[in-house]
Amino acid sequence: MFLFVESPGSRKRRIGTLLALSVLLVSVVFLMNDYRLAGSNKNAVQREKSWARSGIMPDMTVSGIDVKPLLPTGGQPFQLHVFSQNIGIVPTGSYSVEVLIKDLAGRIVFRSTEHKDRRLDPGQIDAAFSASIILERYPETYTITAAIHPEGFEDSNAGNNSISRIIDVR
């Protein structure tokens, strides 16, 4: 671009200079605005907006809470399964899974923690917690919360380490 500016003026060189400056201006405007996020869906996966963390780390997440039967009967056992997954790009270390069940008033009616002494490779899913549970108060609405706590390694996104699910007991 400096060649165009420093060279003796001819009509072709002035047009080239204007073209080069306009391309530079459009490039700067494009870089300052992230047009990819303009029409994004609220339910879409959020893009990383911070470069604060450095290095490669595992990323543990609770990938699901499974209840069988789907509508448990009060006083009868139901099966509760919690699944964990490493969505990072390096293996994890050991971790623990904490499961809480709260009633509608917020009182804890079940609490359990299970330690997992095995690592999860990238993309691997594990049945992190399984139990047969009996809830005595019915009909009632309960909230099941499962949280993963890394032990001996740093998780790249601690914000996705817990989820909740609401169940109705008839």
Superfamily designation of domain 60-169 = Immunoglobulins (2.60.40.10)
Torsion of CA 50, 84, 149, 140, to 10 degrees: 110
Q: How large is the C-alpha radius of gyration of the chain?
A: 27
By the 8 A CB rule, do 146 and 99 touch?
yes
Rounded to two decimals, what is the model's pTM?
0.65
Q: Given this model, what pLDDT does residue 51 score?
A: 46
Q: What is the mean pLDDT of residues 111-120?
A: 93
Residue 31, beta-bridge partner list: none
Residue % of the chain over a pLDDT of 70: 82
Q: Given this model, what pLDDT does residue 34 score?
A: 59
Question: Element (H or E) spanning 38, and its range?
Answer: none
pLDDT in tens, 77-100: 999 999 999 999 899 999 999 999
Mean pLDDT, rounded, of the chain: 84
Q: Given this model, what pLDDT does residue 33 score?
A: 72
- Strands of the 140-150 sheet, one edge to the other: 108-116, 95-102, 140-150, 162-169
Handedness of CA 25, 26, 31, 33 (dihedral sign): positive
**Structural tokens at position 71:** 């509508």
pLDDT in tens, 22-61: 988 888 877 777 555 555 555 555 555 554 444 578 999 9
